[in-house]
A and B are shown apart, each in its own frame.
Chain A
């Protein structure tokens, strides 16, 4: 893949390729099978060789408008049509539309007597006629090795098969030849020595009672290709080779924010939530409310009228709904209104790849805005670590490309150093990582939540204590004690102490107020006293003055009387006399 990207700017001529239309295979082969050349598909029984051949033809017709010829040596046209009808391939219809021609070649040794020289010109003529009658561009020979049981003369047969492949190449048709896998060789009859352009090996492996089908491109002359073993599945829509999307890191990103469903948790993120289409991982030890957090997120998504797909690997939908109902998270309504879909299954039900495909299928069907997987850790029971990791990588990539917010929970084993590691090592794949854990103190356990990373936004560095209440998860305010953040009973003590202190301060203030009031009253009383005193003095003075006046007047009256009795002296100074 790297070579390809490097060579691309140089614009080297690429080998012409014929796209298969099979999900994922064209990515691995970087465009399809070699055009106009034969490709060998080999594998043991039950690998889906015939199916891959037929799908190559059907997709070629449906998607690329290239008619095809199927030469079947093992099954009749009717049998094949019936076999692939369940995948939605209508061979009859394609045959009627002159896009497909199925030629069943029946070889029965008991009917054939051999005498003298012969060749397989009849096969060439049949194939040539079939190709010409519909203008075929693609040919599938399934399984040409059957000829070896029909014709005793191996020498003739081999040279004729060699000639056949040469002839097909010259005709410029893209051919797929299927062959049974042999002992120690790719094919039973050594066909690989005739077909050297492209060889695809299919494999069916059982590990720990779980079957996984794998595909590998053994060789591809003149082209780079994915060299790994890729798991593939036979699904309701045909063959699906994975990884479908994980080859490149090119996806659109969104700037929208989705809420975590817990307002206080949103506050811890610089942008009040997760980016839409990002992946969120919650890790924690047992009983740290991971599922509750996930459910809160799912509920929030649904409340916004969006859709959420919830994969529960531990609980049945009913159990989940009941349990979440007890903490005030109402999933039932959303399930009823088809905004939430809960898919519950034991991880061991299927192989990893099957899980992945189920997920792909449900995502395509349900078109959710968010996907919750609770927990991803349980998948480890199905495969080994590297398999789970590669599956999760592909899953995360797939969801990212689809712009779906992914929310995973993972169980981690307790222990100081390991608490912040996930077994699957997916932590490097996710964008946001929230850790929940037990904060064990003296005689109690408290739940703490912290954000370990959050790509693309600032986040709080605090470990927040949270409690699960009747109405959901509540993050408690940070309480700082003398030695840092305190939780649980310590928090309560701290809160009580603080309360007492506040109370004391308040009482002190009240006391001061009262003192002041008292002083004021005292002063006011004093003022009143003084005023009374002043009033009495004033009255006394006024009385004295009145008495003086009346005495003066009496004196004046007396003097006048005396003056009237004596001869009047006109110049007598009356006013002065009054003083």
Chain B
């Protein structure tokens, strides 16, 4: 699930982790939304990990996950969390602090 690209223009690789619990509609929507935003705005400089807590429940404690789905921005610091199915693009981008790339 991880896609890794190195862009010489931007040294920083974004590390994102999305926590879901099984294939619920909310989770599926969230994964789809996130993929879309990343391809659009962070192409080539992000690392995405989707964690299914039904498979690995022990991982929930580490990132203090309560709500599902939760998107965690591990890098760059500081850690940010976005909860919900990520349906509002603007909010997600603000939350992740991503400058939207429109003119490309």
Contact = CB atoms under 8 A, between A and B. Distances in A.
A107 B78 CA distance: 15
B91 A122 contact: no
Given A122-B67, A125-B21, A116 B57 contact: no
Contacts of B87: 115-117
Contacts of A147: 66
Interface string A99-126: 0000101110001111111111111011
16 contacts: A111-B78, A112-B82, A113-B95, A114-B91, A115-B84, A115-B88, A116-B85, A119-B68, A120-B67, A122-B68, A122-B70, A123-B66, A123-B67, A126-B66, A151-B67, A151-B83
A152 to B, nearest CB: 10
Interface string A211-234: 000000000000000000000000
Interface in A373-419: none
Nearest to B78: A111
A108 to B, nearest CB: 8
Nearest to B96: A113
A114 B80 CA distance: 11
Contacts of A122: 19, 21, 53, 60, 65-68, 70
A172 interface: no
A126 B86 CA distance: 22
A31 interface: no
A107 B70 CA distance: 13
Given A121-B53, A129-B57, A116 B67 contact: no
Contact of A105 (B26, B64, B78): B64
Q: How large is the interface on B (under 10, 10 to 19, 20 to 34, 35 or more residues)?
A: 20 to 34
Contact of A113 (B53, B66, B69, B80): B80
Interface in B9-35: 19, 21, 24, 26, 29-30
A129 B56 CA distance: 9
B91 A126 contact: no
A114 B83 contact: yes
Contacts of A128: 57
- Chain A interface main SS type: mixed
Contacts of B19: 122
A11 B55 CA distance: 47
Q: Which of B60, B82, B85 has the most CB of A within 10 A?
A: B60
Given A112-B83, A150-B66, 20 more contacts: A111-B78, A111-B79, A113-B80, A113-B82, A114-B91, A115-B85, A115-B87, A115-B95, A116-B29, A116-B30, A116-B87, A117-B87, A118-B83, A119-B68, A122-B21, A122-B60, A122-B67, A125-B65, A126-B65, A129-B57
B43 interface: no
Closest 9 interchain pairs by CB?
A113-B95, A116-B84, A129-B57, A116-B85, A116-B87, A121-B68, A122-B65, A115-B91, A115-B84
B98 interface: no
A255 B68 CA distance: 70
Interface string A189-228: 0000000000000000000000000000000000000000
Contacts of A126: 57, 60-61, 65-66
Contact of B67 (A106, A118, A129): A118
Contacts of B103: none
B66 A129 contact: no
Q: Which of B21, B57, B66, B87 has the most CB of A within 10 A?
A: B66
A117 B66 CA distance: 14
A115 B92 contact: yes
A453 to B, nearest CB: 66
A280 to B, nearest CB: 61
A515 B82 CA distance: 131
A296 B79 CA distance: 75
B41 interface: no
A532 to B, nearest CB: 140
A118 B68 contact: yes
